[in-house]
């Protein structure tokens, strides 16, 4: 706590007046002398010192209450974020979901079972997110960042992951049917038992991806795949995948595969 300054007792007026060299300065000197006496009198008033200590103590109490209620504020913030997400469920557009999801993920809240079907989530950043069994069916997730997230058993049918960062993402047992993964970074992603039927993998980076137990690649487009793991392309083409640069060529090859 701060200690109040204790001023010295001012001299008598006659003593102070003797210091005045010019007659015109006497009123100013006397005014200052009066203020010195007032300050001296207040400085010796214990009540003001008590008030000073109380004001300092009140700040300490406010700090204690602020930190003691931090848990309630965090819960209220989470409730508000979930309210935004749930109110936008089943609707197109963002509806504030991007900010709400990012805030929950920053606080390490599990997003397991989230339904964001048809949502506009372009550019959303959810690194290390817990998204198991979520539904992003037909959602727009272009340029999203989902690095190292758990997306096992997720419904990602017809979702748009163009140029998304899916490095080290767990996509085991996910439904990626007709998913657009053009230019996506799938470095070291886990694709075991994932269904990639008719998925667009053109120019996707598959460096180090776990692919050997992929459930299906029938009709998938693997044209221009970057850094394909050893054996991936022959396996994919032998199991119904195609390599087509244009959509027209891809459609023609898909129809040929069907027949």
Q: Tell me the DSSP string of 151-191.
A: -TT-B-TT-B-TT-B-TT-B-TT-B-TT-B-TT-B-TT-B-
pLDDT by 10s per residue, the chain, length 259: 454 555 677 777 777 777 777 778 778 778 888 888 777 776 666 555 666 666 676 766 666 655 655 557 788 888 899 999 888 776 666 668 999 999 999 999 999 999 999 999 999 999 999 999 999 999 999 999 999 999 999 999 999 999 999 999 999 999 999 999 999 999 999 999 999 999 999 999 999 999 999 999 999 999 999 999 999 999 999 999 999 999 999 998 877 766 5
Residue 1 confidence (pLDDT): 44
pLDDT computed for residue 22 by the predictor: 77
Give, rounded to a whole angstrom, the gap between the first and last alpha carbons of the chain: 86
Helices 97-106 and 70-87 meet at what angle, rounded to 10? 140
Please check whether residue 56 is in contact with residue 2, taking contact to mean a CB–CB distance below 8 angstroms. Answer: yes
What are 210's strand-pairing partners?
A: 190
- What's the pLDDT score for residue 248? 93
Is residue 195 a contact partner of residue 220, using CB atoms and an 8 Å limit? no
Which conformational region is residue 226 in: left (phi greater than 0), alpha (psi within -120 to 50 degrees), or beta? beta
């Amino acid at each position: 706590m701060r200690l109040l300054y204790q001023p010295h007792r001012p001299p008598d007026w006659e003593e102070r007046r003797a210091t005045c060299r010019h007659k015109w300065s006497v009123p100013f000197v006397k005014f200052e002398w009066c203020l010195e006496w007032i300050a001296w009198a207040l400085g010796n008033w214990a009540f003001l010192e008590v008030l000073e200590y109380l004001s300092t103590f009140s700040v300490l109490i406010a700090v204690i209450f602020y930190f003691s209620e931090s848990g309630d504020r965090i819960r209220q913030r989470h409730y508000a974020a979930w309210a935004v997400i749930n109110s936008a469920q089943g609707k197109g557009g963002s509806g504030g979901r991007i900010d709400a999801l990012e805030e929950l993920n920053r606080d390490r809240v599990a997003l397991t079972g989230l339904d964001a079907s048809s949502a506009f989530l372009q550019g959303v950043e959810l690194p290390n997110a817990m998204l198991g069994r979520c539904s992003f069916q037909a959602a727009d997730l272009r340029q999203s960042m989902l690095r190292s997230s758990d997306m096992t058993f997720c419904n990602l049918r017809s979702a748009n992951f163009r140029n998304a960062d899916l490095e080290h993402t767990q996509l085991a047992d996910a439904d990626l049917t007709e998913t657009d993964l053009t230019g996506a970074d799938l470095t070291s992603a886990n694709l075991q038992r994932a269904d990639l039927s008719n998925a667009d993998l053109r120019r996707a980076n598959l460096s180090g991806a776990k692919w050997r137990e992929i459930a299906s690649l029938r009709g998938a487009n693997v044209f221009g795949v970057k850094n394909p793991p050893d054996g991936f392309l022959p396996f994919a083409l032998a199991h119904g995948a195609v390599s087509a640069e244009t959509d027209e060529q891809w459609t023609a090859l898909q129809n040929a595969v069907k027949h």
